[in-house]
Amino acid sequence: MTNPRQLAFIALRDVHKGAYADVALDRVLQKVSLPDCDRRLVTELVYGSVRRQRTLDTLINQFAKKKSHQQPQDLRTILHLGFYQLRYQERIPASAAVNTTVQLAKENGFSGLTGFVNGLLRQYLRQAEGQGSRGAEEKDSLLLPQSPVPNPQFPVPNPQSPIPNPQSPVPHFDPLQLPENPVERLGILHSFPDWIIQVWLEQLGLIETEQLCEWMNQSPTIDLRINPLRTSIEEVETALQSADVLVRRIPHLPQALRFIGNTGSIQKLPGFKEGWWTVQDASAQLVGHLLDPQPGEVVIDACAAPGGKTTHITELMGDKGKIWACDRTPSRLRKLQENSQRLNLQSIQIYTGDSRHSKQFQNTADRVLLDAPCSGLGTMHRHADARWRQTPESVRELSVLQQELLTHTSTFVKSGGVLVYATCTLHPAENEEVISAFLADSPDWQIESPNGVELPDFAHSRPQGWFKVWPHRQDMDGFFMVRLRKTNNSE
């Protein structure tokens, strides 16, 4: 089976049963051999439908007599795919979007409801007349009366209404009906839970919250970090350009390149097997520079797997010193070991265990990185289903875990040493509040400005001393990071 839309449907069906979107997608793609263009289409349909779930459900609620949650789950998934293509995929002709969605219904147990599916999507198109660049002839062909199969359980929207004169000016109209309340309006329009919108509004205001929503719904870029122990940024640029892969540099990050456009398989690109570079977002690279590890030091990465920051620390130290990579998940540590071997790094030592309970590291480290487990609300463009998996309750639970980790890992640091706390979330309960609570209970710790460390200008913008990377401003993952110093008079 190589039908991209059927493959997307199978993956989405697994997601709605509880699977992570990336796992469900990989599972489907591993079983088939597809051209790159079809793989990209499957990926776009799966991630896009998951990301835009609330908006797509609202359209079902608006156009069907039965609400989205009342529809059979598989039919709801099929309608998501249809509406997603019509609303967000300008390159897919409307006729193809409708016809393939009707065919999906027919092939997946809903042959009696093809008229319902057809009528629902055509009703959306009729209201959206004039939106986007779809040709008038194509739209008119879709709006011709058809003979749907009647089903009293699923009334078919009336497909027959006046067809606009294709020669007359066509108005721009969005059929999606939005409430007045700004939280609900942004939540429905951009497909986020209300509570996430509220958290952003309190920090950013209305205009910037909308900009952040739009950024988070973009397809993610891929950044790489070159390994200066094996190559130079110029050599990597030349090798990639020779393979017709475009990259650009990222200001203030001496090891960073960003891919422009499609790359194909990452593992097949020049320099990957040779350990010249690894994939790591620009924001995550900032963390290593803020820690500023020096050759010969003892450094502990307290939540290390899968190892992007651990290997960066090792590179910054010239692979000289001792770097402890701690994590409680052996399978994720194996990925770290594979990566460090590919990069040919020798200084990393593995510790399997929960950093909240390990006692062997007390007062042993010059520097500690606590890249704490978090809700990931700064990386939702990469993890399509994260916005639906996290809740205010899960954030509260994570903040407790983060405080426990910070309290214990701070004991790893020698007197006069440094600890960097970092997360890839933008929720104050996991960031500012964790640090404020820790400092209130730890008089021997203070926030330290990273003097002498070259960081982008925006990294110095917080008077409190912590840094927050806002994706819509800096065009990189959302991150929080702060550098703490243990004073010399500590016991």
The reported pTM is 0.87
Kindly provide the residue ranges of all beta strands, DSSP E only, lying in 430-478, ordered along the sequence. Answer: 445-447, 467-469
Helix, strand or coil, per DSSP, at residue 356 = coil
How far is 245 from 57, CA to CA, in rounded Å? 38
Q: Show which residues are catalytic.
A: 424
Under 8 Å CB-to-CB from 31, ≥6 apart: which residues? none
Residues of the chain with pLDDT under 70: 1, 130-172, 451-454, 457-463, 489-491
All domains of the chain in start order, with CATH: 4-142 (1.10.940.10), 183-216 (no CATH), 223-279 (3.30.70.1170), 282-486 (3.40.50.150)
Assign residue 212 a region: left if phi > 0, alpha if psi is -120 to 50, beta otherwise?
alpha
Q: Which residues of 39-68 are buried (b: 16+ CB within 10 A; e: fewer)?
A: bebbbbbbbbbbbbbbbbbbbbbbbbebeb
Helix, strand or coil, per DSSP, at residue 470 = coil
pLDDT given for residue 67 in this prediction? 95
Burial environment of residue 98 by CB neighbours within 10 A (0 to 12, 13 to 18, 19 or more): buried
pLDDT given for residue 138 in this prediction? 37
Question: Cα separations (Å) of 2 from 28, 30, 39?
Answer: 10, 12, 10
Burial environment of residue 187 by CB neighbours within 10 A (0 to 12, 13 to 18, 19 or more): buried
pLDDT given for residue 356 in this prediction? 86
Amino acid type, 345? L
Instruction: Give yes or no for a contact between 225 and 280, defined as CB atoms under 8 angstroms apart.
Output: yes
22 token code pair: 């990336």
User: What's CA 459's distance to the chain center, in Å?
Assistant: 21
